[in-house]
Amino acid sequence: MLNKVLRQVLQPVTFESNPSAESGYYNDLCPDGNIRHCKPVFAAWLADCPQYSDLHHLERHVCCRCVCTKNQLGDYVPPDEEHPRRDHNLYRTLSDANTKAADAELSSRQVHQGFNEFRHIPCIVSNLWKPNLLHTIQIGMLDHLQKWLFHCLKTHERLDKYNAIWLSVPAYSDLTPKTKSCEEGSQWNGKEMKEMSRYLFEVVTQSL
């Protein structure tokens, strides 16, 4: 299921959809209807070891960056003795071959046979920049988005409705009850921003 979702999301940036993806550039259809030659910047997210194994289609308790053995995980390796990096292009080729010899080669590298979307995009996922979700996305970008939304909703006379819906969000599960409108909050802590990211889209949708 995870790979099916990722395939749907990442399909527009795969080698199959964009033959020029090897160079990192794409001819993309923009919202205004024009096609532009652009170079998207990929980023990833921080996860724990089991999640990385699932995302990269690897065996459990192996490194997602290099081909070291399980008993070498955590050991210090001098720079001139580093293990080879994982070759996702090779894994894609072996998986597509779908032969006993290819399956054996994948198994020797602790890789599961089968389709993996990360092997079809023009980057090495384990090398991508991984922003801090709390400080970069939930506190940084979400705060900027919130200020833009206030101005937009006020311009289109939807701010009062937005505040009313915001205050009506129930204290369900681990959500805290709302005692003041979103507009009245002058400073939001990390927990509040994290909560807000869970229902902001729905509140804005119902306000329009």
Which has the closest alpha carbon to 107: 99, 205, 5, 128?
A: 99
- Per-residue pLDDT tens digits for 137-165: 666 777 788 888 888 888 999 988 988 88
Q: Check: CB of residue 37 under 8 Å from CB of residue 27.
A: yes
Alpha helices in 26-87 (DSSP H): 49-56
**Does residue 2 carry a pLDDT above 70?**
no
* Confidence (pLDDT) at 181: 75
pLDDT for res 105: 92
At residue 127, does pLDDT exceed 70?
yes
Task: Record the tokens describing residue 121, joined without a space.
Answer: 């995009």
Q: How confident is the model at residue 102 (pLDDT cuts 50, 70, 90)?
A: very high
What number of residues does the chain have?
Answer: 208
